[in-house]
Amino acid sequence: MVALLLLILLVAMLRNEPHEGLRPFLALLCLCVGQSIIVGLRWGYDIAVLRYVLPVLASCLPPLVLASFRCLIHGEGAAASGLRWLHATPPLGIVALLALSPVLVDGALILLFVGYDWLS
């Protein structure tokens, strides 16, 4: 149900407003729709393979939330930083942790969310 409502919001935003400065926010909505669908498939239909996808998607949330709200507040120029490639490292780090030491994934996600909260 959440995915359907977010999808309706996404379609309404794409149809009614110019979305030049809203790209990160629209990407955040797409990520939330995808995450809601995957959570439903994982727990509703017991698709165990998706348990590896969920932490990676969760690690994409903090950088995308930071970028989307900075663009909503400051406009498109806020995302034009030379270091924005650094925001791709959390998902890559979670993938590495899933391969090397899955026990550390939960703690890494907590540190990631707290770290990005401290950045904002």
- What tens digit of pLDDT does each residue of 93-112 get? 999 999 999 999 999 999 99
Cβ pair 21, 71 in contact under 8 A: yes
Predicted confidence band at 76 (pLDDT cuts at 50, 70, 90)? low
For residue 74, pLDDT over 80 is answered with no
CB-CB neighbours of 70 under 10 Å = 16
In this structure, what token pair is assigned to residue 10? 């996404």
Please, what is the Cα angle at 110 between 9 and 67, to 5 degrees? 40
The Cα–Cα gap between 114 and 106 comes to: 12
Q: How many domains does the chain have?
A: 1
Mean pLDDT for 2-18 is 82
Of the spans 19-23, 51-55, 85-89, which averages the highest pLDDT? 51-55
The model's pTM: 0.83
Q: Calculate helix-pair angle for 23-44, 2-16, nearest 10 degrees.
A: 160
Average pLDDT, the chain: 86
Predicted confidence band at 85 (pLDDT cuts at 50, 70, 90)? confident
**pLDDT of amino acid 32:** 93
Domain that holds residue 13: 2-119
